[in-house]
């Protein structure tokens, strides 16, 4: 017994002494925190997001910092490895808080939910493209897009229905299919979806394949037998590659669309451009895989420059743009905050106030206008569908269109 | 259709499960790093194919050879020092080993998936409603032939017998004049080869990414089902898991295949406690 | 008249059975225990050491200690391998969390039901242990991990989505900050450690050890191995359930992603590093791995800037290599766990200056 307690105290002490004291923010600096999985299987996406916001904010530092009417600050960007564990994310939040973090960003919706009590109590706003369910209701969470995971398939159904109606309703009823891998977010993505499909007058056929399998052939065949006209794929990029391979093997010609859980760029990288050709997907921002021949917004140009400067040798990635966008929203919030308070008073609450002022912000054309209202921090609510063309680039197949705005009940 | 697709999928599981069985059979250690050896093998193949630009066959040989060396190196640097110590400490070391391997891979190649590279051209063979891909046929064939070779090895060679002895106890075998070191070294090398082959096949299908390690771990159940000591069991276990995945998921839905496989298995294990092909141990007090 | 030596004898000698059975045998032990407990509970009051971050680390370690104590009782003392401990933590977490979040129970009333729910499920998965042994038993606990996760994902809507849980209250005190929750977590950890320690030196503990060493022989000695194996499963998973109940009220958010096979493997790694079949070893192992994993923080920011020539994520990769290597080095150096080295040090201290 004694060993247990006395030793735990001694070792805990040793642990503390071995960690350096938290460095406080310098004058004229604002600390932006990031909590994401920097190791483990999800680290690929998370590091992309993190690099995007980090490198954009560092770029602003090189340009002289973020300036408002009341002064100018530089950003100190600190990151913590959550290892995709919620308790670790909590530890990291405390750690960053002790380092005077005033605003934070992340890339895992699970973290944005689990940390709600913490960032609400600490009064540190969250800016992210990755909303959880509960954080949609939090006054301290700001999204740069995305109206919640359950809207991905809903919006797609609305889109497919509009296309079908335009074509003169071939077949009488519209039969749509979805194939999902058993990732933890899938039940959320399909939340109460049957009622929605029924209300839309669409027949929805659902199939699931296990995570880690290398063949989704049986599921696709059953969708084909059910006579579906379009298939929506709710899976990670790995799952999407499995679906595409199986479809190719079966000679299946039904068009398929990837949900935003993975980008088309990821699918191209994993499965190769040949396999991905013709695959559709959705973006809330302008992707880096966009065919350079099509040009791009100033924001996309900047993102491409930052990428070339920092990761010249690596293949570009769409999630990087997502990170850049989060960085832009943070900077915009700080800019507005500096209109009201001097740099010395740039607290989380001040930045939240600044974020509340954000209106019609497009991130240099990267996305549709973001305006935050008092009880609506979701950001822009439009999505655009893209398709993979030859050479592994993507081009738009639809215009920007409004997403549905369903919210999963908080409890 | 469901049966064929399940069997093909299961063959890959079986191939990966063979890696677990190899190490277990020679050292009674469940190698938690197997998934990560698979990852390293896949990345080594990518390195020799893309970075070095070698032709396919050369890249395959090089990466499989490198996998063998990695296995031997792992044994030499870590487990060699644990000969004669409790087995459980070896198992923990393999857990930590997985950290080192994952770290190495992300240090050299980064955390983002590598650029796609085609391993085998995926042509399809159609037999009525049946569709087979060359990739899955290859995996199927490879799994069966590797398993066959191993069964023969364990059954008919002195070295194989010695390996089985090492699993029984280090001291006894040592005193019989068999070098425990050599045997362990060899079995890890072989496990490295199995991991590399599995990694290359998986990488070709799912892309070269860190997630391969997790998929590698999914083969653990397959190894258990067949009995940890038995190569033929591993392949059969893989097939069983693959089948139940595709059939149960097919008819019940909601990805119930794997849990269902476990429910059936646990029930079965009550009657066959050592798996289907495991070695029954007679214990004396 | 016998001369009373002016120095204490080297070694510990008990002259009565009661003395031999005492948990704290010497004055030094009593002193260290009291000092340790005082330090442990005074920690949030010491300026400089009471930052939320440090306290959170200790809280996390404390909750992990509870889960690992259970695991060590089952695996270390009773010899039944369990590779699904985090699934049982999940059962406790969801059971207790749902009781407080949806049925208006107080945390205090929900801890034991949380533990019991986990124990009930644990016993169910423990039944195959009648026939299965060693690594094969791992199949059933592995199955528990997979089946229970599946049920939580597809079977119950609230657990699939995650739900928020209100903080623990005791009268006017709300345990919603690390400084306050620290006392709750440490209280539970100390009590559960004490209970484990006591259980393991009782008839029950001796039966477990007998089963571990040789179950046939144990049966021959008249131990009902089926009953005792199930009891070990029940105790193990009860501990897991209590850890889960604490965890969910500490997080104030219940979600599926916190309970993975990876966590179960780590729990196992912790007790093996610390020492199988040792209560203090459990604490040792948890602290060792916690500190090691936290090294990411110290080296991470330093490495990040200097490694920009390597691909994205390389810095964290390097840390993994370092952490893994240290752990392997340690495992090779101390294959019997830290508790073994600890007992050697203790023996040295007791026998000094007449060690042999």
Q: pLDDT (tens digit, 9 = 90+) per residue, C88-132?
A: 999 999 999 999 999 999 999 999 999 999 999 999 999 888 777
Alpha carbon of B207: minimum distance to chain A alpha carbons (Å): 4
**What whole-number distance in Å separates Cα of residue C9 and Cα of residue A81?**
52
For an interface test with C, which of A8, A31, A95 has the most C Cβ atoms less than 10 Å from its Cβ? Answer: A8
Alpha carbon of C339: minimum distance to chain B alpha carbons (Å): 13
Contact list, A114 vs chain C (CB under 8 Å): 162, 251, 253, 255, 258
Assess C296–B contact: CB distance below 8 Å, yes or no.
Answer: no
pLDDT of A4: 44
**What whole-number distance in Å separates Cα of residue C248 and Cα of residue B185?**
45
Q: List beta partners, residue A30.
A: A75
Name the strand (E) or helix (H) holding A67.
Answer: strand A66-68
Determine the residue of chain C that is closest to A18 in CA distance: C298
Q: What is the pLDDT of residues B15-43, one digit of tens each?
A: 888 888 888 877 778 888 888 999 999 99
Alpha carbon of C130: minimum distance to chain A alpha carbons (Å): 31
Q: What is the pLDDT of residues B168-197, one digit of tens each?
A: 777 778 788 888 888 888 888 988 998 898
Determine the residue of chain C that is closest to B261 in CA distance: C143
Percentage of the residues of chain B whose pLDDT score is greater than 90: 13
**What whole-number distance in Å separates Cα of residue C78 and Cα of residue C73?**
6
pLDDT of A154: 95
- At residue A105, the 3 state secondary structure works out as strand
**What whole-number distance in Å separates Cα of residue A354 and Cα of residue A347?**
11
- Tell me which DSSP letter residue A10 carries: H
Q: What is the mean pLDDT of chain B?
A: 79
* DSSP code string of C273-331: HH-TT-HHHHHHHHHHHHHHHHHHHHHHHHHHHHTTTSPTTHHHHHHHHHHHHHHHHHH
Determine the residue of chain A that is closest to C200 in CA distance: A1
For an interface test with C, which of B17, B21, B79, B103 has the most C Cβ atoms less than 10 Å from its Cβ? Answer: B103
Q: Above 60 in pLDDT, residue C1?
A: no
Determine the residue of chain B that is closest to A187 in CA distance: B254
Alpha carbon of A117: minimum distance to chain B alpha carbons (Å): 31
Q: What is the pLDDT of residues C31-88, one digit of tens each?
A: 888 888 888 888 888 877 777 888 999 999 999 999 999 999 999 999 888 989 999 9
Residues in chain A: 411
Assess B283–C contact: CB distance below 8 Å, yes or no.
Answer: yes
**What whole-number distance in Å separates Cα of residue A282 and Cα of residue A257?**
8
* DSSP code string of B64-116: HHHHHHHHHHHHHHTGGGGTTS-HHHHHHHHHHHHHHHHHHHHHHH-SSPPPP
- Tell me which DSSP letter residue C166 carries: P
Question: Residue B68: how many CB atoms within 10 A of its CB?
Answer: 21
Q: Above 50 in pLDDT, residue C189?
A: yes
List Cα–Cα distances, C173 to C168, C176, C186, in angstroms. Answer: 8, 9, 16
Helices (H) then strands (E): counts for chain C: 15, 4
Q: Which of A180, A174, A171 is nearest to A158 (CA)?
A: A174
Query: Does the distance separating the beta carbons of A95 and C252 come in below 8 Å?
Result: no
Q: What is the pLDDT of residues B75-116, one digit of tens each?
A: 888 888 887 777 777 877 888 898 899 889 988 888 888 877
Contact list, B210 vs chain A (CB under 8 Å): 40-41, 43-44
Alpha carbon of A307: minimum distance to chain C alpha carbons (Å): 11
pLDDT of B284: 57
**What whole-number distance in Å separates Cα of residue B209 and Cα of residue A337?**
41
Asked if A186 contacts A239 with a C-beta cutoff of 8 angstroms, the reply is no
Q: List beta partners, residue B235.
A: none
- Give residues with Cβ within 8 angstroms of A204, minimum separation 6: A157, A176, A177, A178, A193, A194, A197
Q: Which of A43, A385, B237 is nearest to C320 (CA)?
A: A43
Q: Which of A359, A377, A376, A356 is nearest to A368 (CA)?
A: A359
pLDDT of A24: 45
Q: List beta partners, residue A395.
A: A387
Query: Does the distance separating the beta carbons of A272 and B116 come in below 8 Å?
Result: yes
* Beta strand A71-81 pairing with A29-36: parallel
Alpha carbon of B278: minimum distance to chain C alpha carbons (Å): 10
- At residue A51, the 3 state secondary structure works out as helix
Contact list, C77 vs chain B (CB under 8 Å): none
Query: Does the distance separating the beta carbons of B210 and A251 come in below 8 Å?
Result: no
Of A5, A14, A311, the CB nearest to C190: A5
* DSSP code string of C64-120: HHHHHHHHIIIIIIS----S-HHHHHHHHHHHHHHHHHHS---HHHHHHHHHHHHHH
The residue among A148 and C353 whose pLDDT is bigger is A148
Per-residue pLDDT band at C310 (split at 50, 70, 90)? low
pLDDT of B119: 74
User: Which tokens hold the place of B231?
Assistant: 């190569």
List Cα–Cα distances, A29 to A64, A342, C53, C296, in angstroms. Answer: 12, 11, 22, 24
Per-residue pLDDT band at C323 (split at 50, 70, 90)? confident
- Tell me which DSSP letter residue C258 carries: G
pLDDT of A246: 85
**What whole-number distance in Å separates Cα of residue A324 and Cα of residue A367?**
11
**What whole-number distance in Å separates Cα of residue A171 and Cα of residue A229?**
10
pLDDT of B83: 74
**What whole-number distance in Å separates Cα of residue C336 and Cα of residue A75?**
49
pLDDT of A7: 46
- At residue A103, the 3 state secondary structure works out as strand
Alpha carbon of B279: minimum distance to chain C alpha carbons (Å): 11
Query: Does the distance separating the beta carbons of A210 and B5 come in below 8 Å?
Result: no
pLDDT of B251: 62
Buried b (16+ CB within 10 A) or exposed e, A353-381: bbbbbbeebbbbebbbebebeeeebbbbb
A259 upstream amide cis, omega within 30 of 0? no
Per-residue pLDDT band at C329 (split at 50, 70, 90)? confident
The parts of chain A modelled with pLDDT lower than 70 are: 1-27, 147, 212, 410-411
Neighbours of chain B (3+ CB pairs under 8 A): A, C
Per-residue pLDDT band at C356 (split at 50, 70, 90)? low
The residue among B121 and C180 whose pLDDT is bigger is C180
**What whole-number distance in Å separates Cα of residue B207 and Cα of residue B114?**
8
Assess C24–A contact: CB distance below 8 Å, yes or no.
Answer: yes
- Give residues with Cβ within 8 angstroms of C130, minimum separation 6: B270, C226, C229
Assess B99–C contact: CB distance below 8 Å, yes or no.
Answer: yes
The residue among B10 and C197 whose pLDDT is bigger is C197
Mean of pLDDT values over C28-33? 82
Asked if C25 contacts C11 with a C-beta cutoff of 8 angstroms, the reply is no
Query: Does the distance separating the beta carbons of A19 and C280 come in below 8 Å?
Result: no
Q: Which of B43, B16, B113 is nearest to A213 (CA)?
A: B16
pLDDT of C11: 61
Of C57, C157, C257, the CB nearest to A86: C257
Mean of pLDDT values over B210-222? 75
Assess B2–A contact: CB distance below 8 Å, yes or no.
Answer: yes
Contact list, C300 vs chain A (CB under 8 Å): 38, 79, 81
Q: List beta partners, residue A66.
A: A73
For an interface test with B, which of A83, A209, A215 has the most B Cβ atoms less than 10 Å from its Cβ? Answer: A215
pLDDT of B46: 93
Of C62, C161, C167, the CB nearest to A408: C161
Name the strand (E) or helix (H) holding B157.
Answer: none
Per-residue pLDDT band at B131 (split at 50, 70, 90)? low
Q: What angle do CA A364, A370, A375 make, to 5 degrees?
A: 160
């Amino acid at each position: 017994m004694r060993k247990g307690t006395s030793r735990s105290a001694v070792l805990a002490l040793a642990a503390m002494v071995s960690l350096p004291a938290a460095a406080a923010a310098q004058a004229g600096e604002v600390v932006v925190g990031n909590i994401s999985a920097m190791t483990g299987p999800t680290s690929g996406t998370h590091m992309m997001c993190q690099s995007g916001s980090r490198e954009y904010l560092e770029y602003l530092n090189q340009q002289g910092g973020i300036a408002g009417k009341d002064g100018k600050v530089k950003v100190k960007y600190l990151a913590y490895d959550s290892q995709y564990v919620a308790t670790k994310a909590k530890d990291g939040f405390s750690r960053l808080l002790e380092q005077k973090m005033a605003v934070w960003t992340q890339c895992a919706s699970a973290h944005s939910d689990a940390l709600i009590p913490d960032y609400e109590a600490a009064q540190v706003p969250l800016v992210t493209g990755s909303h959880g369910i509960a954080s949609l209701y939090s006054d301290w969470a700001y999204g740069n897009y995305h109206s919640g995971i359950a809207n991905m398939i809903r919006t797609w159904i609305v889109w497919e229905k509009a296309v079908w109606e335009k074509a003169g309703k071939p077949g009488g009823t519209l039969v749509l299919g979805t194939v999902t891998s058993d990732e933890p977010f899938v039940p959320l993505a399909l939340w109460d979806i049957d009622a929605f499909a029924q209300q839309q007058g669409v027949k929805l056929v659902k199939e699931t394949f296990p995570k880690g399998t290398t063949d989704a052939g049986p599921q696709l065949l059953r969708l084909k037998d059910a006579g579906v006209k379009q298939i929506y794929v709710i899976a990670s990029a790995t799952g999407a590659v499995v679906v595409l391979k199986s479809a190719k093997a079966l000679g299946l010609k039904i068009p398929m669309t990837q949900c935003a859980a993975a980008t088309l760029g990821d699918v191209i990288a994993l499965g190769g451009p040949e396999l991905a050709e013709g695959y559709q997907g959705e973006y809330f921002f302008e992707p880096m895989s966009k065919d350079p021949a099509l040009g791009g917004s100033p924001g996309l140009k900047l993102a491409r420059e930052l990428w070339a400067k920092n990761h010249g040798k690596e293949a570009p990635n769409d999630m990087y743009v997502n990170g850049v966008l989060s960085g832009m929203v943070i900077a915009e919030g700080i800019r507005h905050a500096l209109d009201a308070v001097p740099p010395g008073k740039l607290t989380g609450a001040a930045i939240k106030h600044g974020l509340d002022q954000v209106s019609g912000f497009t991130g240099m054309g990267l996305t549709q206008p973001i305006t935050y209202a008092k009880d609506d921090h979701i950001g822009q609510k439009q999505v655009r569908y893209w398709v993979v063309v030859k050479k592994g680039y993507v081009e738009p197949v639809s215009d920007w269109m409004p997403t549905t705005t369903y919210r999963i009940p908080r409890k | 259709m469901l049966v064929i697709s399940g069997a093909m999928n299961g063959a890959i599981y079986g191939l990966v499960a063979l890696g677990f069985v190899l190490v277990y059979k020679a050292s009674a250690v469940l190698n938690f790093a197997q998934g990560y050896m698979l990852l390293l093998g896949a990345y080594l193949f990518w390195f020799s194919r893309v970075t070095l630009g070698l032709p396919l066959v050369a890249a395959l040989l090089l990466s499989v050879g490198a996998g063998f060396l990695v296995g031997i190196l792992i044994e030499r640097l870590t487990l060699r020092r644990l000969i004669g110590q409790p087995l459980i400490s070896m198992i923990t070391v393999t857990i930590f080993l997985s950290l080192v391997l994952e770290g190495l891979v992300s240090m050299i190649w980064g955390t983002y998936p590598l650029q796609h590279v085609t391993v085998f051209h995926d042509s399809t063979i159609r037999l009525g409603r049946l569709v087979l891909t060359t990739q899955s046929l290859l995996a199927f064939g490879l799994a069966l032939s590797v398993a066959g070779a191993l069964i023969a090895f364990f059954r008919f060679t002195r070295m194989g017998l010695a390996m089985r002895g090492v699993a029984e106890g280090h001291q006894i075998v040592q005193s019989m004049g068999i070098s425990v070191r050599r045997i362990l070294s060899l079995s890890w090398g072989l496990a490295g080869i199995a991991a590399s082959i599995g990694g290359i096949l998986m990488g070709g299908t799912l892309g070269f990414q860190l997630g391969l390690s997790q998929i590698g771990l999914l083969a653990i159940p397959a190894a258990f089902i067949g009995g940890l000591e038995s190569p033929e069991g591993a392949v059969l276990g893989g097939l069983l898991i693959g089948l139940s995945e595709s059939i149960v998921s097919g008819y019940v839905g909601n990805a119930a295949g794997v849990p269902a496989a476990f429910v059936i298995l646990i029930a079965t294990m009550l009657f066959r406690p050592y798996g289907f092909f495991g070695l029954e141990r007679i214990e004396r007090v | 008249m016998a001369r009373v030596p002016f120095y204490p004898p080297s070694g510990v000698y008990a002259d009565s059975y009661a003395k031999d059975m005492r948990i704290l045998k010497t004055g030094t032990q009593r002193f260290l225990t009291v000092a340790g407990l005082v330090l442990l509970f005074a920690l949030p009051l010491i300026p400089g050491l009471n930052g939320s971050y440090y306290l959170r680390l200790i809280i996390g370690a404390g909750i992990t200690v509870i889960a690992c104590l259970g695991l060590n009782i089952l695996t270390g003392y009773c010899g039944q391998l369990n590779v699904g401990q985090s699934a049982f933590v999940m059962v406790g977490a969801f059971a207790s969390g749902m009781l407080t979040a949806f049925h208006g129970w107080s945390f205090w009333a929900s801890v034991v039901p949380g533990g019991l729910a986990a124990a009930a499920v644990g016993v169910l998965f423990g039944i195959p242990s009648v026939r299965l042994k060693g690594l094969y038993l791992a199949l059933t606990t592995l199955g528990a991990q997979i089946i229970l996760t599946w049920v939580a994902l597809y079977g119950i809507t609230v657990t699939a989505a995650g739900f928020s849980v209100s903080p623990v209250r005791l009268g006017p005190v709300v345990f919603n900050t690390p400084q306050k929750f620290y006392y709750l977590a440490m209280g539970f950890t100390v009590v559960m450690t004490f209970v484990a320690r006591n259980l393991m030196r009782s008839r029950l503990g001796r039966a477990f050890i007998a089963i571990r060493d040789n179950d046939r022989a144990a049966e021959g000695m008249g131990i009902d191995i089926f009953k005792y194996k199930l009891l070990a499963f029940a105790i193990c998973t009860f501990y897991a359930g209590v850890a889960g109940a604490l965890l969910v009220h500490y997080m104030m958010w219940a979600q599926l992603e916190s309970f993975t096979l990876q966590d179960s493997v780590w729990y196992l790694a912790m007790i093996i590093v610390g020492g199988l079949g040792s209560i203090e070893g459990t604490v040792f192992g948890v602290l060792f791995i916690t500190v090691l994993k936290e090294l990411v923080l110290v080296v991470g920011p330093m490495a990040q800037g200097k490694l920009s020539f390597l691909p994205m994520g390389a810095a964290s990769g390097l840390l993994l290599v370092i952490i893994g290597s240290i752990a392997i080095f340690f495992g090779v150096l101390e294959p019997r766990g830290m508790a073994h080295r600890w007992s050697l040090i203790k023996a040295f201290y007791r026998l000094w200056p007449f060690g042999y």
